Chains A and B, each alone.
Chain A
């Protein structure tokens, strides 16, 4: 480069220094631009991450809210004992206590009259046990068999569930040497054709033991040939008893006696 060109400020050529400065300016402007964009992105990311983490924490808090509330109840100061505040008139308080005692005693007596004085039977279907009671006195305890909870499905879409109904029943009939009139399911369960309603093969002798007590809806308390099954849920809904237990139940329970099954 000649001197004239070098010294002329209007010369179109750019000095190497100026070129360097201009490039640096460009780079810094770009950096600022990118930094702004980066800051915006970081803020957005912060918001997204914060909200997600916050929601997760909220869910955790919801899960543990009952425990947290319990802690708060534990540390809350005891509130005023309502009656403790109503203590100005001692005579009034004593009167209130006496009248309450009388009312509670009357309610207790009324409640106690609900227990039958006559013998009654309690059948426990989950443990397969019976209790013969008279008032609050236990007369006899023994084993039984109750409903098996089998749901039998026949080919013709009919179905039966073999469970012992729960609740309070009354003895509706008593019989000695009962005869079992087999229902349809008894034949279906054995893979036999179902006979007409009063066919001879429906009547079976001796399988119900010496006695039977009717509970209604076809449910009976009766004896069994399968004594080793006593204590297990194997029946079709009736209550099966061993010979000795059946004799005691038959002797103590009269027509109309209460039977509680649970």
Chain B
């Protein structure tokens, strides 16, 4: 059989369950209506409404108050430009203030916390306000909503208190625990002494899900090994599955699924591993971006 014939046969076979559509118009209409109802509903509820009703968008009242204080349209362009620059400086200072306030708040805790500074490209582990490991952020990306907040000059409100870790997902275990049964006698103990120590070469990629709708994904700069690649695929699937499940749960409780802001940073493998292993289960984070 030629490829053309084989292709036609496949198309024919695939089209067979839909052959009834050729027979009457009513069936065709019913099919297309029932086909589109659920996806359309899902699109509106999980895509359109979460964007339109995201809790970070400026309210109409805010917009009104601010526009009441705005410059008149007849103002010369250079005056507007100068004032806009000053306004941007204020926005950036407000972010700095929020960052230091959040770090000072973190320093009151005994546990290890994270301070991510995207402007200076540094991620630091801190205890009691003392930076104990500074990691160079090699690259970063952030989501559309974060950029939108920045453009609105409202980012500092979101950053003013530390984020609290809710859930984490990773390609490596949090604690590399190995179970060892106690030897029965000295002979067995001496035999087990000769065993080689396992040296861990695990790739380190993880996602930290914080409150206030923030996801921080950390990727290692080094390319993963073959097994690391497989683990990464599994990790990505689990991450997407989690997001989908959250949306389904929200819909089941008649709530709108919320769009999560995300930041993706790239660190060296050692830095990523050290950060992941050091952070406790309810770790807190200060962010500057």
Contact = CB atoms under 8 A, between A and B. Distances in A.
Interface of A: 38-39, 42-43, 45-47, 49-51, 53-55, 57-59, 61-63, 65-66, 68-70, 72-74, 76, 78-90, 93-94, 96-97, 100-101, 103-104, 107-108, 110-111, 114-116, 120, 122, 124-127, 148-155, 161, 163, 166-168, 188-192, 229, 232-234, 258, 260, 262
B66 A80 contact: yes
Contacts of B87: 81, 83-84, 86-87, 93
Interface stretch (B3-11, B20-28, B163-171, B223-231): B20-28
Contacts of A152: 180, 182
A75 to B, nearest CB: 9
B281 to A, nearest CB: 12
Interface in B191-228: 197, 199
Consensus secondary structure, chain B interface: helix
16 contacts: A39-B26, A50-B31, A65-B42, A65-B46, A70-B143, A72-B144, A73-B51, A73-B145, A76-B148, A100-B94, A101-B93, A111-B107, A166-B280, A189-B189, A232-B197, A262-B133
Contacts of A110: 100, 104
B66 A191 contact: no
A42 B133 contact: no
B255 interface: no
A191 B18 contact: no
Contacts of B67: 80, 85
A258 B33 CA distance: 69
Contacts of A70: 143-144
B30 interface: yes
Interface of B: 17-18, 20-21, 23-24, 26-28, 30-39, 41-43, 46-48, 50-51, 57-58, 62-63, 66-67, 69-71, 80, 83-84, 86-91, 93-94, 96-97, 100-101, 103-104, 107, 110-112, 125, 127-133, 143-145, 147-148, 151-154, 175-189, 197, 199, 240, 243-244, 247-248, 257, 259-260, 270, 273-274, 277-278, 280
B277 A125 contact: yes
Nearest to A97: B90
A122 to B, nearest CB: 5
Nearest to A88: B69
Consensus secondary structure, chain A interface: helix
B153 A82 contact: yes
Q: When A and B form their complex, which 8 residue pairs have the shortest distance between CB atoms, in order from nearest?
A: A73-B144, A50-B34, A114-B129, A107-B100, A191-B189, A46-B31, A85-B66, A83-B87
A168 B127 CA distance: 7
Contact of A124 (B35, B38, B41, B274): B274
B112 A53 contact: no
Contact of A81 (B35, B51, B151, B188): B151
Given A62-B247, A234-B197, A86 B66 contact: yes
Given A51-B34, A61-B47, A153-B180, A124 B144 contact: no
Nearest to A61: B42
B84 A84 contact: yes
Contacts of B39: 54, 57-58, 61
B101 A114 contact: no
B259 A38 contact: no
Given A45-B27, A69-B50, A111 B100 contact: yes
A104 B35 CA distance: 57
B199 A166 contact: no
Given A82-B154, A149-B175, A154-B182, A61 B144 contact: no
Contacts of A65: 42, 46-47, 50, 243-244, 247, 257
